[in-house]
Every structure is written in structure tokens, then in C-alpha cells.
A and B are shown apart, each in its own frame.
Chain A
Amino acid sequence: MSADSAIQIESLVKHFPMGGSVVEALKGVNLALGAGEFAGLVGPSGSGKTTLLNIIGGLDSPTQGSVRVLGEDLANKTHKQLADLRKEHIGFIFQTFNLLPVYTVFENVEFPLLLLNRTNGERQKAVDEALERVGLSHKTKARPATLSGGESQRVAIARAIVKQPSIILADEPTANLDAENSHNIMRILVELNEDNSTSFLFSTHDEKVMAYLRRTIHLVDGNITSDEVTTPSAP
């Protein structure tokens, strides 16, 4: 494993019980993602993209194989240690935004910093910067229910980046957005990647997202069928 590897996966297998049978979601996946990469897991529904992201994020456990995130072997971690890893080093962006409905925009973005016990001043500064970055400084007091889909996803991005994590895992981040919002979101993410050297790993089957990727990993039926460096075609 290279010294600056963000993610190192070897022979990853994941089985799910389904009814009386077992579904093989991942069939011996090997993958290494370096620091600062902007990569995407591309494949049809059911190909194992989300499962792979969940395992990398410590939200799910592998059946076999090893997963190392930022040099830490996830197999030896307790639930609490995995939660701490996510809290400190991993940001999530979800297809359905998953904002906390009773919190304002500011409070949603502030939440990861509260978990990290940052001071008031640090939180205020970091949240202001994150919201500035996604262009929502004027919506700090709004509730998620009053936001459009694009705005909601931008809040989710601000929430993911506010603690300046090493890795951001984005599961179909544009699936619920129209074309214009999708491009806006992707441009923000590209900027973040370039400015902060944060590693991004997407799961997507959206061509608009693919146009921004610098590395495209094709996943079909739980196998990586191709892994190629790509040149972003989006402006």
C-alpha cells in the first residue's frame, strides 16, 4: 500500500442473505484510492456500488477481504471506533440529502463539528466558510423543508466538507437533481477536491457525474470490470 493511500481494498467479498438464498454483492474487489483522487464507481443498479461505499465508510462490514481506510484496518474496529473514524475523517453525501429536518441549514452543517466538540468560534467560522463555498450564506436560518433539491444537496455538501475530512463518499449525489443543479453540484465538488486535496469517491450511473471524474471504476455484478484514468469532459 502506498504511503498516501486513502483507501486500500483487497479481495473484498460481501454476501447478503436474501430470503432463503445468499446474494453475492461484491466478488473479490481490489481497489486502491490515493489521497486527493476524484474517482467514481460506475455501474447499473445492483452492481454493488453503494455496498462498496458503505463498507469503505464503516457502515457495513465485509464478508471476506480487507479494507484499510487512511491506514486503519476496518476489520479490527468496534462500532464505536468506526463511528469515530467517520466522525473525524469521512464525509458522506447521500442521494436523498438526509438533512436533519428539525435543524436549520446552519445547524445541519454545524452538526459534525458539534460531534467533534469544536468551540463555538471554530464552528461559526467553519460553517460560514462551508456555506459560502456552496453559495448558501443567505439561507443559514432556513429549514430543510423550505429548500429546493439543489439547495438541499448543497447543504449536504457543506455538511460533508465542514470538518475538512480526508475522504468524501458520495452515493448518487445528483440522482434527485435536474441537469443544471447536477452540474452546479459537481463543479462545487471539483473545486473542493482541487482546493483541499480531499479524496472523493462517487457511486453513480449518471453520465453528468461521469463527465467530471478523473478516474472511472466500472463495477458490474460485484466485480470491477475496468478501472481507468479519465479526462473530465465537463467544462
Chain B
Amino acid sequence: MMTQLRLALKNLVGAGARTWLNVAVTSFTFVIIIFMSGLYQGILAYSKRVTVESEVAGGIYWHPLYDPDDPFTLDDSHGAPPQAVLDQIAEGRAMSVLLVTGAAYINGRMIPMQLRGIDPAQQIVAMPTTSLADYDGDAIPVMIGTGMAKLLGAGEGDAITIRWRDAYGTYDAADVEISKVMSVENFKVDFGILWLPLAVLQEMSNMPGEATYVTVRQGEPLLETASPWVLKTVMSLMEDMIALVQAKQSSAAIMYVLLLALSALGIFNSQVLSIFQRRREIGTLMALGMSRQRVVGLFTLEGGIHSVLALILAFIYGAPLLYLTASRGLPLPMDYSDSGFLIGERLFPVYGPWLVAGTTLLVATIVTVVSYLPSRKIAKMEPTAALRGKIA
């Protein structure tokens, strides 16, 4: 094996530019695949973190009629949570959120929106709800996200008129004041939502003690006794988001395949050319006592070493590059919230050990296979024909 390794290395170095071109393309493929996969992993990790921190925490109990994808359910999806859940709320291990459909009137425009009531003292999701409690004005305090503020063209201290429908189907209206414009990373708690103190919204809507959903603190066990309320685990709440990222990853896989095909083709061609050019050498190796299988092994090894050299080269320039992107993040030139992804102003790729190991294995396997395929021809070569410089 050491003989073959030595010979393979010498042959590769002897092949000069052809070797280094193949190695460069393969290393580029390797780095790009890790980088691109890291971007998606980064998006996923970021989305999960932000979703958990600002929205789903340790899981949610839904009112039995609540369906966030069906706005027509909102009017009826409210009620008092089961006693076991109320106990969790009372102990500060969960918090109620009440949803009421409504609209905002501002600058002569009417904008449909959800009014959401939340306990100002909650510490379960990362939202500055204390601003609702700290408000010392005469109006009803409301909190909106920066995206919503932009949409409304309003800021802190501005008054807007809101309209809503109470539990009996009666419309009512009131002036509210924006006590806080919160900077949130999760557009799902921003766009189309006006946050009010829970007790105020319960009173406004004639729904005392009621909620639409109850969010449980991270690390708290989810109660099976919450029935008929529907228990939603963190994973089930993030299924759509994960599926979306995975769908995008699948599209990106086309590019990976093209890149891999490019480097594999280069190495395949190089192997074919090498075997054609070195027929006499192959015959000599056989005459000196190398078995056909060992010669096949030698050429396969030569091809396989491309992947090792590519990994080394990729490590030399790729590791600092990937480290920099992972630690400093990549600035994004535009707001991607419309894309359905939760993406911050800087995207931090995540290069996990499985990603690196998996990509390494994938590249090494493909390179070795494409090295082996043309080398099989050697096994059919007659030594005398090879010595005369013929293929067969």
C-alpha cells in the first residue's frame, strides 16, 4: 500500500497543472457545498431560535377551534383554558394570549389587523411587554413591531383608532397610543399585529379570563391533560418553516450536483487521459510483478488522492473563509421577511461537524468512484499490449 501511495503521489505531482486544476475545482466544490449548506443551516438555526424565543417558547396549547391559517376561525376561537393550564399560568409557567380581529384607522386608511392581548409582566417570550405596564398616559397602550410601524407610518407616542368585534359580535372602537415600537426579529409577531395588555383586551372584547392560545415557558413539560385544547410541540409548530428551508435546500442541491459533476468530470477525464498516456508504464508495472488489481488500485488511489489534496487545499483557504462568515455573519442587502424566511440583518451560516463530515465523505466517494471507473479498463489490459503502448 505504501508503495502504491508513494507512486500515486509522485505521479500526481508529475502530472503538474492537470492535477492542480482538478484539485482546485474539487476544493472549490467542497467549499461551496459547505458554504451553501451552512447558509441554509444558518437560516434554519436562526429561524428556530427566533421562533422559540419570540413566539413558541416551550410549546403552545391552542383553543380547539383555533387555526392560524384560517382567519374565519378567529372570532370563535377563544375560551377559558383548562384548569391544569390555568394552574401553569398562575404559577408563571405559561401565559395566555387572546386574539381578536380588528382594524386600525390611521391617516385616512383602514388596515385590517389582529389585536393580541398579552400579559405585560410575562417573561416567557422575548418581547418588551413591560412597556405596556410602564405606560402612564390616558389612552390604551399598544405595542407594535418596526415592520408594522413602517406599514402604518406611525411611531411611539402616535395615536391611532382601532375597531374590533367583541364576544357578542358588536363592533366597538377606541383610540390607542403606541407606547412602544419593538424591534423584533420575528416578522410573525410584527406584521398585522397590535399588542395590548391582556386584561384590557379581555375587557374590550367581553372575554374575561379567556385566551386563544397559551404559550408555555421553555423547559416546562407540556400537559397531556389540556384537552380539549390542542397541544402543539415546538417541533410541530416549526414544521412548516423547516419544510420551507428544506425545500430551498433541495433546489440548492441542483447546484451541488452541477459542481460535483464538474469536478468529477475533470478527474474522470484526467484518469482516462492518464491511462491512455501511461499504457507502457502500466505494462512495465505488470512486467515488474505488479498484479492487475494492484495497478487498478494504484490508478484509483491516484484519483482518490485528488480528493485528499482538494480537502487540504479547501481547508487552507476554506477554513478561514468559513470561520469568518460563521463568526461575523454576512450582511444582507435587503429585507427578506417577504420571502417567508426568518432572516436577520446579518446571516450567520452554521457549519456543523455532520455537514463537514458528510460533505467530505460525499466528495471523497464521488472522486474515488470516478477514478475507479476508467481504471477498470486496466484490469482487461493484456500486459504485452500495454508494453507496446496499446490499450488492449
Within residues 281 to 296 of chain B, which ones have a CB less than 8 A from any CB in chain A? 281, 283-294
Residue of B2, B10, B286, B387 touching A103 (CB-CB under 8 A): B10
Rounded to whole Å, the gap between the CB of B379 and the closest CB of chain A is 9
Known pairs A86-B288, A88-B289, A115-B288; A60 contacts B281 (CB<8 A): no
Known pairs A60-B382, A60-B384, A101-B281; A92 contacts B286 (CB<8 A): no
Known pairs A96-B280, A101-B14, A103-B10; A79 contacts B287 (CB<8 A): no
Known pairs A102-B10, A102-B14; A59 contacts B287 (CB<8 A): yes
- Chain B interface extent, by class: 20 to 34
Say whether A84 contacts B289, CB under 8 Å: yes
Say whether B281 contacts A94, CB under 8 Å: no
Q: Answer yes or no: A205 CB below 8 A from chain B CBs.
A: no
**What 0/1 pattern do residues 83 to 118 of A give for CB contact below 8 A with B?**
110111010101010101111000100011011000
Say whether A98 contacts B289, CB under 8 Å: no
**What 0/1 pattern do residues 40 to 61 of A give for CB contact below 8 A with B?**
0000000000000010010110
Residue of B2, B7, B294, B383 touching A60 (CB-CB under 8 A): B383
Rounded to whole Å, the gap between the CB of B387 and the closest CB of chain A is 7
Say whether A57 contacts B287, CB under 8 Å: yes
**Please, how many angstroms separate the alpha-carbon atoms of A78 and B287 in the complex?**
15
Rounded to whole Å, the gap between the CB of B302 and the closest CB of chain A is 11
**What 0/1 pattern do residues 12 to 23 of B give for CB contact below 8 A with A?**
011000000000
Say whether B286 contacts A59, CB under 8 Å: yes
Residues of A in contact (CB 8 Å), total 26
**What 0/1 pattern do residues 348 to 392 of B give for CB contact below 8 A with A?**
000000000000000000000000000000000011100100000
Q: Answer yes or no: B11 CB below 8 A from chain A CBs.
A: yes
Within 8 Å CB of A98, what residues of B? 280-281, 283-284, 287, 387
Q: Answer yes or no: A138 CB below 8 A from chain B CBs.
A: no
**Please, how many angstroms separate the alpha-carbon atoms of A111 and B290 in the complex?**
10
Q: Answer yes or no: B3 CB below 8 A from chain A CBs.
A: yes
Q: Answer yes or no: A80 CB below 8 A from chain B CBs.
A: yes
Say whether A83 contacts B286, CB under 8 Å: yes
Rounded to whole Å, the gap between the CB of A108 and the closest CB of chain B is 10
Known pairs A80-B291, A111-B288, A115-B3; A102 contacts B383 (CB<8 A): no
Chain A to chain B: the 8 pairs with minimum beta-carbon distance, closest first: A87-B289, A102-B14, A83-B291, A98-B284, A114-B3, A59-B383, A102-B10, A86-B289
Q: Which residues of A contact B (CB under 8 A)?
A: 54, 57, 59-60, 79-80, 83-84, 86-88, 90, 92, 94, 96, 98, 100-103, 107, 111-112, 114-115, 159
